[in-house]
Amino acid sequence: MRVPVIAGNWKMYKTAGDSAAFVRAFLPLVAGVRGVEIVLAPPFPSIAPVAQLVKGTGVGVASQNVHFAAEGAYTGEISPFMAADAGATHCIVGHSERRQYFAESDEMAGKKVRAVLSVSLTPILCLGETLAEREAGKTFEVVERQLLAGLGAVSPAEGPRVIVAYEPVWAIGTGKTATAPQAQEVHAFLRLRIRRLWKDAAASVRILYGGSVKPENISSLMSQADIDGALVGGASLSPGSFADIVKFH
C-alpha cells in the first residue's frame, strides 16, 4: 500500500514572510486530512521558517535543489546536510528547470540522489520528456535514461525511500496536463523498469505526476493505478487551491 504524496513546489516565489503566511493559512485547511503525505518546497531562505511552523504536523519540507558535495568552494550552492540542518525532510532533484536553465545532467541527478539519501533526506527525482522528444516518439527512451542515471547508485534496500516524479516538460506551467491515461502509461513503464532494478521493492516506490496539476484534474490523475501523488507548481502557491488538491478524494 503506497501512501500518496502531494508536494508543492513554490519555485522562486514567496519571501520568508509570504511562506509563513501561507503555512498559517494552509494548516487549518488540511487539519483533518489523513492518509496523504504533504510536502512543501519553498525557496532556500524559507526552509527554516516553514520547518518551524509545520513542526509536529507531519507536513514535510523539501529543498528545491542541493549540491552533491558535502561542503566545498561551490559559490551559490547548499549541501544536502545544510538543507537537512535547516529543517528539510525531502529534496527535489533534477527538476526540468534545473536541467534546462542550469545545465544539470543525468549524471548530476544521480550524484544528488545518492548525496540526499546519505543524509537521510527523501529524494524526489524528477524526470520527463520535452515536446520535441514526445513528438519524435522518444518518451520512453528519455525517461528510462533519466531514471537509470538518477537511481544508479541506490541499492534495492534504499529504493522505497526514493520518490520519483514524472513531469513531462511540455505540461509544466503550460496549463496542458497529460491526460490521466497518458500519464499512467509512462508511470506503468517506470514502475516496470524499477522492478527490473529492485524487484519487489518497486511496488513501494511512489511515482508522482507533475505538470499543470490543479484541483480540477487531480482526482482523475489519482484514479490511475501507478499514479501515487503529485508535484504541483503554480496551483501550490495559494493555500486554498493546494489544500483542495491535497483533499483529492
Positions marked active-site:
95, 167
- Interacting residues of 226 by C-beta distance below 8 A, sequence separation 6+: 184, 187, 188, 190, 191, 207
Nearer to ligand PGA, 65 or 212 (CB): 212
- Interacting residues of 231 by C-beta distance below 8 A, sequence separation 6+: 7, 9, 92, 124, 126, 165, 167, 208, 209, 210, 213
- Interacting residues of 239 by C-beta distance below 8 A, sequence separation 6+: 22, 25, 26, 29
Centre a 10 Å sphere on the Cβ of residue 77 and count the other Cβ atoms it contains. Answer: 14
Query: Is the Cβ–Cβ distance between 43 and 14 less than 8 Å?
Result: yes
Query: Does residue 129 belong to the site contacting ligand PGA (CB under 6 A)?
Result: no
Kindly report the backbone phi and psi dihedral angles of residue 2, in degrees, each rounded to the nearest multiple of 5, phi listed first: -95, 125
What radius of gyration, in Å, describes the C-alpha atoms of the chain? 17
* Cα gap 124→141, rounded to integer Å: 20
Query: In whole angstroms, how close is the CB of 71 to ligand PGA at the nearest point?
Result: 28
Which region among 27-35, 76-84, 210-218, 241-249 touches ligand PGA (by CB under 6 A)? 210-218
Q: Is 19 helix (H, G, I), strand (E, B) or coil?
A: helix
Q: Which of 46, 64, 122, 212 binds ligand PGA (CB under 6 A)?
A: 212
Grid coordinates belonging to 194 = 524499477
Window 133-172: residues binding ligand PGA (CB under 6 A): 167, 172
Q: Which of 47, 147, 232, 243 binds ligand PGA (CB under 6 A)?
A: 232
Query: Does residue 173 belong to the site contacting ligand PGA (CB under 6 A)?
Result: yes
Binding mask 3-32 for ligand PGA (x = CB under 6 A): ------x-----------------------
Q: Which of 93, 213, 222, 227 binds ligand PGA (CB under 6 A)?
A: 213
Nearer to ligand PGA, 43 or 233 (CB): 233
Query: In whole angstroms, how close is the CB of 119 to ligand PGA at the nearest point?
Result: 23
* Cα gap 208→231, rounded to integer Å: 6
Query: Does residue 234 belong to the site contacting ligand PGA (CB under 6 A)?
Result: yes
Query: In whole angstroms, how close is the CB of 59 to ligand PGA at the nearest point?
Result: 18
Q: Which of 54, 86, 221, 231 binds ligand PGA (CB under 6 A)?
A: 231
Residue of 244, 238, 176, 174 lying closest to 216 (CA atoms): 244
Q: Which of 43, 60, 211, 239 binds ligand PGA (CB under 6 A)?
A: 211
Binding residues with ligand PGA: total (CB under 6 A): 13
Binding site for ligand PGA (CB under 6 A): 9, 167, 172-173, 210-213, 231-235
